[in-house]
Amino acid sequence: MFKDYPKAIVTKDGESVLLRPVKPEDEKALNEFFSEIPDDEQWFLREKLDDPEVLHDCLQKLNYRRTLPIVAVREKDGKIIANLRLHLSMARCIEHVAHLRVMVHPDFRSLKIGSWMILDCVKTAMDMGLEKLFAEFIAGVEDAAIGAALKLDFRHEGVLKDYIKDKHGGYRDLIIMSRDLQSKWSDF
C-alpha cells in the first residue's frame, strides 16, 4: 500500500514537501503541529489530537487498516505542515467507503497542499479498491474546505442539522460530501 511513498510535491510558493505515512517517531513534530493550530479550530477537531496523551496513544496503536494518516513534511527542516487521515472500516457492509479529514497548518494554507493531499488520498483510496470517499464539514467554519472539496469533484450528500456545537453553545450544521471513485485510475 505504501510502495509509492514518500511522494514529492512542490507548493505554490516553491517549497519542496514530502507526503508520507505517519510513523511513531513523528510524535514531537505532530505535537508541535497541533499546538500551532489556533484555539478556535482546535475546538472543532473531532479526535482531540491536540492532546499530547491522545496523540501518543494513537501513535502507539497505529493500524493502517483502520486509519491511514498521511503527513506533509517540509523537506528542508522536517516540519509537519499538514495532516490527512483516511478512516476505514473493517465491517464488511461499509468496507467499500472511507472518511477523510485534512488539516493544513495555518501558515501554509492556500499553497495547494490541501489539494495535493486530497488528490493523493483519492488515488490511494482507488488503489485500495474503495468505492466512495466521504468528508464532513462544519457550515460557517469549514467553508474554505467545502470550496476545495467541490473543486476536487466532491458533491453534497446531506446535512446533519445542529450536529455540532461551537464553544459558545451555538449549533452548527454538519455538511456531508462524497466523491465516487472510479474503478481505474485512468478514468480519473
Ligand X SMILES: CC(C)(COP(=O)(O)OP(=O)(O)OC[C@H]1O[C@@H](n2cnc3c(N)ncnc32)[C@H](O)[C@@H]1OP(=O)(O)O)[C@@H](O)C(=O)NCCC(=O)NCCS
Residues that bind ligand X (CB under 6 A): 101-104, 109-115, 135, 137, 142, 144-145, 147-148, 151
> Pick from 169, 146, 167, 144: which is nearest to 157 by CA?
146
- Least Cβ distance, residue 46 to ligand X (angstroms): 9
List, in order, residues 6 or more apart from 187 with CB less than 8 Å away: none
Closest CB to ligand X among residues 30, 145 = 145
> How many other CB atoms are found less than 10 A from the CB of residue 153?
13
- Least Cβ distance, residue 129 to ligand X (angstroms): 22
Closest CB to ligand X among residues 56, 87 = 87
In the block, cell 483502520 appears at 66
CB burial of 57-71 (b: ≥16 within 10 Å; e: otherwise) equals ebbeeeeeeebbbbb
Closest CB to ligand X among residues 44, 54 = 44
- Least Cβ distance, residue 101 to ligand X (angstroms): 5
- Least Cβ distance, residue 137 to ligand X (angstroms): 5
Closest CB to ligand X among residues 24, 150 = 150
